[in-house]
Structure 1
């Protein structure tokens, strides 16, 4: 039940943004065993004045940088997370064509009882 929040600079066409959604969903299905149709993602676009990044950690980023925050159950292994990072970079490189240097991913883990996916219920508690 991942929840994705994607941030990028404004101005990309619909097809570009949809390719991001598709690539991220595929990467999660392949590495985290996310169920079919488990797609909860948003993209937020930012004007250049509201989008800042640096070259920390020796990575030469560009204005094509995409920030991806994935909130998931706290049940995934380190190996699954590493595989997810690799697969996201690969698939975003293929479509829509984002350089791996411009793929910034952060996983936030939440306990099962911290989720309500509708109807005011704690479905996983």
Structure 2
């Protein structure tokens, strides 16, 4: 699933090959409630990313995530996606520098 998400992000957002700061967390059913109409296969994908992506790029990401997760056996209808794109100054990188002060090495305004 980590590889599927990374491939979707590369495809839709153009993130670099080595940009794979991805965490997989699974929660026991007893610790979560599944939204109405969903099953035990429900999956919530939360993506924290740099801001600047257009609605078109976000839609492409949604489609790429669902397609790639479906390829590994997850039902498309069970996948919900939540994007969180705080401002660049809210990311501390490369020894404590604000991301807005750095050359990130790739475009975020797609």
Fold match, TM over 0.5? yes
Specify the alignment match of 1:7 in structure 2: none
Q: Which 5+ residue runs of structure 2 have no aligned equivalent?
A: 102-110
**4+ residue segments displaced more than 3 Å:** none
Specify the alignment match of 2:31 in structure 1: 50
Specify the alignment match of 1:98 in structure 2: 74
* Structure-1-length-normalised TM-score: 0.75
The counterpart of 1:71, out of the listed 33, 38, 48, is 48
Q: Which 5+ residue runs of structure 1 have no aligned equivalent?
A: 1-19
Specify the alignment match of 1:10 in structure 2: none
Specify the alignment match of 1:28 in structure 2: 9
Partner deviation per Cα, 1:36-64 (whole Å, 9 max, x = no partner): 11011112221211021222xxxx42111
Q: Could you say what secondary structure the match of 2:23 adopts?
A: strand
Partner deviation per Cα, 1:71-116 (whole Å, 9 max, x = no partner): 1111100000001001110110002x10011111100111111111
Specify the alignment match of 2:95 in structure 1: 119
Give the number of equivalent residue pairs: 101
Structure in which a larger fraction of residues adopt strand:
1
Does residue 62 (structure 1) correspond to residue 45 (structure 2)? The answer is no
